[in-house]
Structure 1
Amino acid sequence: MTKFINEILTGDNVEILRLIDDNFVDLTVTSPPYDDLRAYNGYTWDPELLANELYRVTKDGGVVVWIVGDRTVKGSETGSSFKQALTFMDTGFRLHDTMIYMKDSISFPETTRYYQIFEYMFIFSKGSPKTVNLISDRKNKWVGHRIRGRERQVDGSLAGRRKGNPVKEFGVRYNIWQVSTGYMKSSKDVIAYDHPAIFPESLAEDHILSWSDPGGIVLDPFGGSGTTAKMAKINGRQFIHTDISEEYNEIARRRLEDIA
């Protein structure tokens, strides 16, 4: 299947994945269409079929990062994100973590609910994740102090805990990531904004660094403007990019052509 490595492929993602060997992909980082929030030239997809194919092609210990939100229809959210998460779990994936991608701006303020600025990032794993490179860039307030405290026991009581190691200057991130979005913030590639829903480069990059090692194979079955492929290539990973739209794939090719 080496012919698919570092390729931008046009076609139905399920049909393309069916041509890929079992246990081939280390990491998937993707963001599917959110209900019918964008037209995407009228293309549709089947969550159950895709989840099954992703499970098959993912290596044991591999991870799928599924970034998704819901559309509000007649005053209520669709709940599609939760349905998709349950579909992946029914397929055999573990829900390793439920993370939040928090934007630094909003598009259109609501008048009947609090302003919506986040999307879900479901971290699915095929068994226990084999690669975990947690990013530690959170400034610790208590740097230099020793970890101390008490722990709640099964019976509800509190037990003392001995002083631990000194608190480091930087700790592991929380699972809510704030990401700058918008024109020339999600990417500096002007051409990327010809796509209706550009994926922030820093978001793709940080997941690639977290859940894969150099040389690993990173898949995006909704490749769009090529952000996942670009960040995989920049960070020494291999990529497989699929999208049903040749128009969007041409954007992706142009974004990758100058990367060594």
Structure 2
Amino acid sequence: MRTAYTTNYGQALIGESLDLLKSLDDGSVNLVITSPPFALQRKKEYGNAEQHEYIEWLSEFASIVREKLRDDGSFVLDIGGAYQKGVPARSLYNFRVPIHFCDDLGFFLAQDFYWFNPSKLPSPIEWVNKRKLRVKDSVNNVWWFSKTEWPKADSTKVLVEYSERMKKLLLDPEAFYNPAKRPSGHDISKGFGKDNGGAIPSNLLQFSNSESNGQYLRGCKAVGVKGHPARFPAKLPEFFIRYLTNPGDLIVDIFGGSNTTGQVAEAEGRNWITCDLVEEYVAAGALRFMSEFSEDEAKRIYQEVLDGKAISFRTSDEMPKQTELFA
């Protein structure tokens, strides 16, 4: 395991994530958020375990994650679904993950989230496009696990814009509703007409994953490599980082890929560590942190990371104290 690059708030490592996890102090991490390789039937270039061995493989990481979390810490896991081999019937592996984690590893399922990606391509082609037997699968499970029943969370940090109807109601509440107990049992009080700065979001998160011209992809083009094939959009880690952590907290991504998590954590003023086994993915992820983009600089940074030189990105002379733990 080696350091590929560092920033004001964190560092990206190349190597085995299990080694990273074992090196951390118990009870030191506020949030582990990651998207591991899914248990798909077709092997991907970034590596993925077979469905029958997937739970055991992922549990090796999860059991150590639990030890490293603070008592109020969280573990957020983005997992996509899959089909059984050769037939149009779904695998249940993604549902067995939370059952096993809670029954056998001691986690609590704080809440289940669902990431709807409207730009996701139809898959698998055999059942969706060719035979027309199934519809497009556009939703990933995002399991929010916690070490105790009371993880740190604040939904006021992730409020969403009010609907147009709610905006009209707030302008003149008395014209739209009467405070009273509804047949459903809900007691709608006068406080319902209070402007709280936004609406509480639902557990269905809609974020398109269709970036085509950001700095990361421009950098990949400049150095002649493909972008990571399974990146999640920045809005996904941003939601949970804002929801479940405070500035200065420590965030870890154990399957860091191109380091979307680190980029978001940096912007949000959180300490972070990410790790990935594929050095080309980590080297390309460094291009996210260039203050000014140029092709020549992108090529230099990418090659130096591959050559084993740790790059330092700094915007000020002061480093957060917590990153000293991971030097």
Say which of 125, 139, 147 aligns to 2:146.
125
Rounded to whole Å, the distance in 1 between the matches of 2:185 and 2:245 is 38
254 and 52 in structure 1: CA distance in 2 versus 1, 3 angstrom threshold? same
Alpha-carbon displacement from aligned partner over 1:147-181 (angstroms, at most 9, x marks no partner) = 845478xxxxx657362302436211111111011
Q: Give the drift of 1:42.
A: 4.1
Within 5 A, what are the aligned runs for 1:95-244? 95-108=109-122, 110=128, 111-127=132-148, 128-134=150-156, 135-140=158-163, 141-142=165-166, 143-144=169-170, 145=173, 148=179, 150=181, 161=187, 163-165=189-191, 166-168=193-195, 170-184=198-212, 188-190=215-217, 191=219, 194-244=227-277
Rounded to whole Å, the distance in 2 between the matches of 1:236 and 1:214 is 5
Contact 2:79 2:141 in 1 (8 A): yes
Match of 2:300 in 1: none
Contact 1:131 1:213 in 2 (8 A): no
Q: Unpaired segments of 5 or more residues in structure 2?
A: 221-225, 292-312, 316-327
Following TM superposition, the consecutive aligned residue runs of length 4 or more in structure 1 with deviations greater than 6 angstroms are: none
Rounded to whole Å, the distance in 1 between the matches of 2:179 and 2:141 is 32
Rounded to whole Å, the distance in 2 between the matches of 1:238 and 1:130 is 17
Q: Identity of paired residues, percent?
A: 23
Match of 2:91 in 1: 78
161 and 205 in structure 1: CA distance in 2 versus 1, 3 angstrom threshold? closer
Alpha-carbon displacement from aligned partner over 1:50-73 (angstroms, at most 9, x marks no partner) = 110110011111011111112223
Contact 2:215 2:288 in 1 (8 A): no
Rounded to whole Å, the distance in 2 between the matches of 1:69 and 1:147 is 43
Higher mean displacement: 81-90 or 18-27 = 81-90
Mapped pair 1:12 → 2:16: yes
107 and 160 in structure 1: CA distance in 2 versus 1, 3 angstrom threshold? closer
Normalised by the length of structure 1, the TM-score is 0.86
Normalised by the length of structure 2, the TM-score is 0.70
Alpha-carbon displacement from aligned partner over 1:6-26 (angstroms, at most 9, x marks no partner) = 221122212221111100110
Contact 2:251 2:273 in 1 (8 A): yes
Mapped pair 1:47 → 2:58: yes
Higher mean displacement: 66-75 or 187-196 = 187-196
SS at match of 2:190: coil
Match of 1:155 in 2: none
Larger Rg: 2
Contact 1:55 1:93 in 2 (8 A): yes
Rounded to whole Å, the distance in 1 between the matches of 2:187 and 2:154 is 27
Q: Which has the higher helix share?
A: 2
